[in-house]
Amino acid sequence: MSLKIEINKCLQGYNTLALAARAAYFCCVSDHQQIQDALAFAQSKSLAVIPLGAGSNVVLASDVDGLVIYLDLRGVTVKDAVDTAEDSVDVTFQAGEDWHEMVSYSLAQGWYGLENLSLIPGNMGAAAIQNIGAYGVELSDILISLKVVDIESGQLLTLTTEECQFSYRNSVFKQSLKDKCIITEVTLRLSTKPVINLEYPALTHYFDDQLAVPTPSMVSEAVCNIRRSKLPDPNELPNVGSFFKNPVISAVSFKSLERQFEANDVKVPGYVQSGGAVKVPAGWLVEQCQFKGVRQGSAGVHKDQALVLVNYNDSMTGDCGKDILGLAADIQRMVAAKFCIDLDIEPRIYGSL
Ligand SMILES: Cc1cc2nc3c(=O)[nH]c(=O)nc-3n(C[C@H](O)[C@H](O)[C@H](O)COP(=O)(O)OP(=O)(O)OC[C@H]3O[C@@H](n4cnc5c(N)ncnc54)[C@H](O)[C@@H]3O)c2cc1C
């Protein structure tokens, strides 16, 4: 099918913050030829290329200059059993498939390992960008390779997990390969035997009264229930989930943070990482700065979840992206002043501030 390029396209329906920014150029690609055509178009006009999935991890601060390519590649394929290790199956998901739908689909096939990542919004291709993670599991635990198209040369390349350089909410696609490639498919190694991971405290507690080991479907359902009880649905209240990464601070800094709260008898939450550094929940820090429920212009901090910034303005007008980023900057300043901790923004920001 020939490629349709749209001009001055409104992206409000293409990002979960529902920001009404416009893309100078926009196209939707559903096969490899269309990707090549889109890249050729961008090159002919010297346009920046911005791949887009479900828009659940982007903040469109203003109109976007360049060609936004919406990835709509679909399909799931399974590698021959003879090639894969015993008790596992290698499954390739095209970039445009919806993450949660694929978690449910995998469960139905008897392929396990994705349960703890249930209900994360977004598409398969984008999952690798920040190495999505939740409830004790990260994409890097199950991904074995992925395919990318190099934006400059148009070449199709395969990257192994090692080459993706995954770490907490990070990968090579946020570092040396930032803006350099389009992920077209990811291959995950899933288990054909149930793998139950209940290490994450909220999940452990969920099954406190359960005597038998839960099934993978029960774990998925539990994760969905916990997530629904904690996070606002972007369809009802536009948001991008966690707005800040959880900072990892040195053991010495964590001790001094604990001392800061000693007098008030408050226990500072912290999770010791390998190497001794401590991960502190960013939401807790934001809450300590009294931002929960605060509203500035069209932006707000969710009333129950301090880590989630929301857009209260669903009209096509106003500087909502700037309001969101202004509020985020105020939070960062306050947290830095109070705790000497720098909060990093998790979603990718596009457009000018
Ligand atoms: C309510 C809510 C809860 C969330 N919970 C979690 C959570 O628990 N854990 C977690 O890790 N994240 C979470 N997120 C963040 C988000 O769901 C993930 O980052 C998701 O992977 C983003 O997918 P997407 O398709 O929406 O990406 P987009 O928002 O469309 O894109 C994000 C970035 O990836 C790039 N990109 C997208 N697709 C491709 C591609 N095919 N090739 C190259 N680059 C691409 C974009 O250019 C952009 O820079 C949450 C978000 C929301 C709204």
Q: What is the pLDDT of residues 182-195, one digit of tens each?
A: 999 999 999 999 98
CA distance 20 to 63: 8
Residues 6+ positions from 186 with CB-CB distance below 8 Å: 92, 93, 95, 124, 125, 127, 128, 143, 145, 146
Question: Hey, what CATH topology would domain 76-230 get?
Answer: 3.30.465
Query: Known catalytic residue: 227?
Result: no
Query: Known catalytic residue: 262?
Result: no
Residue nearest to atom 36 of ligand 1 (CA): 126
**In which residue ranges of the chain is pLDDT below 70?**
80-85, 314-318
Q: Determine the pLDDT at residue 263.
A: 79
**CA 57 to ligand 1 centroid distance, Å:** 4
Q: Are 234 and 121 in contact (CB under 8 A)?
A: yes
CA distance 85 to 113: 15
Residue nearest to atom 39 of ligand 1 (CA): 126
Residue from 129, 177, 310 to probe ligand 1 pocket by mutation (most atoms less than 8 Å from CB)? 129
Q: Please pick, among 145, 171, 220, 242, the residue that the annotation labels catalytic.
A: 242
**CA 38 to ligand 1 centroid distance, Å:** 22
Beta-carbon neighbour count of residue 178 at 10 Å? 12
Ligand 1 pocket by C-beta < 6 Å: which residues? 16, 50-58, 71, 95, 120-123, 125-127, 129-130, 132-134, 182-183, 231, 234, 239-241, 348
Residue nearest to atom 52 of ligand 1 (CA): 241
Q: Specify the 3-state DSSP secondary structure of 223.
A: helix
Q: Determine the pLDDT at residue 339.
A: 93
* pLDDT tens column, 10-22: 999 999 999 999 9
Q: Determine the pLDDT at residue 264.
A: 81
Q: Count of alpha carbons within 13 Å of 75, Cβ hemisphere only?
A: 9
Alpha carbon distance, N-terminus to C-terminus of the chain: 37
Q: Determine the pLDDT at residue 181.
A: 97
One-letter amino acid at 138 equals: E
**CA 99 to ligand 1 centroid distance, Å:** 10
Give the torsion sign (CA, 322, 324, 325, 330).
positive
Query: Of all atoms in ligand 1, which is nearest to the CA of residue 117?
Result: 8
CA distance 134 to 150: 29
Q: Please pick, among 115, 169, 185, 298, the residue that the annotation labels catalytic.
A: 169
CA distance 154 to 144: 23
Residue ranges of the chain assigned to CATH 3.90.78.10:
239-350
**CA 201 to ligand 1 centroid distance, Å:** 24
From the options 3.90.1200.10, 3.40.930.10, 1.25.40.10, 3.90.78.10, give the CATH code of 239-350.
3.90.78.10
Residue ranges of the chain assigned to CATH 3.30.43.10:
6-71
**CA 127 to ligand 1 centroid distance, Å:** 6
Query: Of all atoms in ligand 1, which is nearest to the CA of residue 95?
Result: 41
Residue ranges of the chain assigned to CATH 3.30.465.10:
76-230
Query: Known catalytic residue: 169?
Result: yes
CA distance 82 to 318: 57
One-letter amino acid at 114 equals: L
From the options 1.20.1740.10, 3.30.450.20, 3.30.9.30, 3.30.43.10, give the CATH code of 6-71.
3.30.43.10
Residue nearest to atom 19 of ligand 1 (CA): 57
Q: Determine the pLDDT at residue 159.
A: 98
304 CA to centre of own chain: 20
